[in-house]
Structure formats: structure tokens, C-alpha cells
Structure 1
Amino acid sequence: MNCPNQPSDDSLTVKHSLIHPAVFINLYDHYAPGVYRYAFLRVGGDLADEVVVRSFLKAFRQRRLFSSRSISFQAWIYGIASRVISSYPHAEAKRFRTMSQELGTTALYSLGSRERDAFLLMTWGRLPLSEAAQALGMSTERLERRLDRTLQRITNRIPGSVR
């Protein structure tokens, strides 16, 4: 566990990559599989690789802006990936329609984009609450409230669910 004032390994890697860009590949190697899984679930296999490439390319180009004091690298890269995914609204909508048909519910498809991002970062992205909040640029408390409302809406839309 890192001390609050001690930079993380990821932070040091980002800082080192400013001088030696090739070390950024270590962050890619570590986080790309999870970002791919998250992208695959949201937009499907046809676009998941592209989302990963675009996300890491954007992170690489903006690495001077990264500050581990305000956000972890994991939260930062998933936040970037969420924004990249939002540039494929038709692919994501098609994916959610297909999943809704398979599951027999429109719950996920019916959520607003911010609600869906919050829910999916925690479930499919497997981010802890604090990092999902960082990725979305909101406080942990605000995200908790948003997730409570989201889970209520999903539960209310699932046929046969206990209310």
C-alpha cells in the first residue's frame, strides 16, 4: 500500500516515460487486457482492439497531464476508454440491444450514459468505487448515490424481480 505522499509505481512509470517513452509499454502490458475486456463488453469484439489502441495512444500523448495526486493510472485509463467508447454510440447501442434481447430485459439499455458508465466501470471494468469515481470525475459519495439509483432502476425493470 502506498503512503498518500509517495508516488505509485504507475506514477513513476509515467514520469519516466517522459524521458524514455518506451517504458510506457509497461503500463500498456499491465492494463490493456482489462481495458480490452471492458471495451469488448461495451462495444463488441470488432471495436474493442481499436478502443484499446485509441485509449492508450491518447494516454501516451497526454501523459504530461497525468497526476497521481488526483487520480490513479487505472482510473485515468478507464476514464479515457469510457470517453473513447462514447464515440461509438451506434456500436454500443447495438451491443446493449443484443444483450437486452438475450437477457430478456431492457434495464441496461434504458440507463442514461453517465449511469451506465458508472455501473459498467464497477461491474465490467472491475474498478473499485473510489477509482470509478475518479474515472468519471466525481466524488465517491456522489457515485454511491448514482449507483444506488441505478441499481433501483435496473431492479425495477427486471421481470419478476422483488421490489
Structure 2
Amino acid sequence: METDVDVAPGPDGRHVRTDAELIAGARQAPECFATVFDRHYGRIYAYAARRLGRDLAEDVASETFTVAFSRIGGYDTARPDAAPWLYGIASNLIARHGRAESRRYRALARLAPEEAVNGHDDAVAGRLDAATQRGRLAAALARLSGGERDALLLVAWAGLSQLEVAAALDVAAGTVRSRLHRARQEMRTALGEGDL
């Protein structure tokens, strides 16, 4: 999903306001924040749903924007795109549900691959392989520290760059690189690839 954070003209030739401009405007006119919400809610919800399941995702996504709105005074308007900031808030909220997330990954890891029925050999084999891999990856995700899991999933599921992850988690870029390295090693081990 794309966001409209470019300073280039929009399709109608008018200037499309960046998230930073909208947040700055929301300090005086709170309704400006609605556009930031509209741009990013779907992505934040999808990220939370992948990590916690749909039951908690709506609460986390809504609370993300409530917290963000309460902190607009401290937003760094030198950053035109608010996505990393919002993912950082969402990651902190997801951490509060750490047990639920770990239970989710352990449950996924325990799911037995579906038994073959009626002989669709290649299709069934592909589904069994995918289910097995999913279980291994879920178990590996459950073993990661919260920081490693956040870094990996912000890159893999939210599509953030390492620098954006550093901004989202308010850590140094080197810390993100270290966390990603450890997380990727764990994923490789889970898939039986070792130290490739």
C-alpha cells in the first residue's frame, strides 16, 4: 500500500501534504490528523493482525493513533513520512501483548500439517512443506527476543528499511543490524540452513 507523502504534485496538480505537514497542522487544527490516520491505519492494522491476530489488532491499531495524536507536539517534522513513527508506537503496544504473541507463535508451531486426502500429490506435498516451514518459523519467532522480533518483522512485514526501523524503535542503526543478524540466523537455523 502506498502513502501520499511525496511533496510532488498529486494527480490533480495540487501539492500533496506530507505526514509531517499534516501533523504540524494538527497542532492547531486537529482534524488534519485524520488524513494521517486514513493513510496509515490499514497498514498498522495489518501489521498488528499478523503479529497478534485479528482479535487484538483493531485495539492495537486504534490505540496506536490515539497515542500518536497525544504525542504530535513531539513529532520530528524533519521526517516527512510518519510510518516509522507509527510502527514504533504499534511495536511498543504489541510488546504489552508479548504473551499473546508468543502463544500465537507457539500455537502455529504446534499445528500439524494437514493429512493428505484423495491423492493430489504435488499440491498436497507443497501444502505440507509450507505448513512444516510455517511451524518452524513460528517456533523460531517465539524464541527471538522482543527487540529482535520487532526488527525482523518491521523489515519483513512492514517493509521498513533498517534506518526506518532504527527510527521506529528509537535505537541506533547498528543495534538494528545486530538484531536483524541474530534474528536471521535463528530463522536460517529453523529452516535447517545453518550458517549460510
- TM class by shorter-chain length? 0.7 to 0.9
Match of 2:115 in 1: none
- Residue 157 (structure 2) aligned to one of 115, 120, 124: 124
Query: What are the equivalent positions in structure 2 for 1:81-160 lying under 5 Å apart?
Result: 81-102=90-111, 103-105=134-136, 106-158=139-191, 160=192
| Aligned equivalents of 2:62, 2:190: Cα separation in 1 | 35
Whether the aligned pair in 1 keeps the contact of 2:151 and 2:176 (CA below 8 Å) is yes
Q: CA deviation at 1:10?
A: 0.9
Rounded to whole Å, the distance in 2 between the matches of 1:145 and 1:68 is 28
1:58 paired residue number: 67
- State the 1:94 CA deviation: 1.8
> Which protein has the larger Cα radius of gyration, Structure 1 or Structure 2?
2
For 1:25, the aligned partner's letter is A
Q: In structure 2, how many angstroms separate the alpha carbons of the residues matched to 1:62 and 1:116?
A: 25
Offset, 1:127: 1.2
> What is the TM-score of this pair, normalised by structure 2?
0.74
- Runs of 4+ with deviation above 4 angstroms: none
Look up the match of 1:25. Answer: 34
Q: SS of 1:39's equivalent?
A: helix
Task: Give yes or no for contact 2:148–2:183 (8 Å, CA) kept in 1.
Answer: yes
Provide the rounded CA distance (Å) in 1 between the counterparts of 2:167 and 2:19: 16
Structure-2 residue corresponding to 1:161? 193
Hey, what's the Cα distance between the residues in 1 that align with 2:187 and 2:77? Answer: 34
Post-superposition offset of 1:98: 2.3
> Structure 1: where are the runs of 5+ without partners?
3-7
Q: Work out whether 1:76 is the aligned partner of 2:108.
A: no
Structure with larger RCO (C-alpha < 8 A, sep 6+): 1
- Relative to the length of structure 1, the TM-score reads 0.88
Aligned-residue Cα RMSD (Å) equals 1.9
Question: Is 2:73 the counterpart of 1:42?
Answer: no
Deviation at 1:89, TM superposition (A): 2.0
Name the CA distance, whole Å, in 1 between partners of 2:108 and 2:59. 21
Task: Give the number of equivalent residue pairs.
Answer: 157
Does the residue aligned with 2:171 lie in a helix, a strand or coil?
coil
Query: Cα distance 1:93–1:71, how it changes in 2: closer, same or farther (>3 A)?
Result: farther
Which blocks of at least 5 consecutive residues in structure 2 are unaligned?
Answer: 1-5, 8-16, 112-133
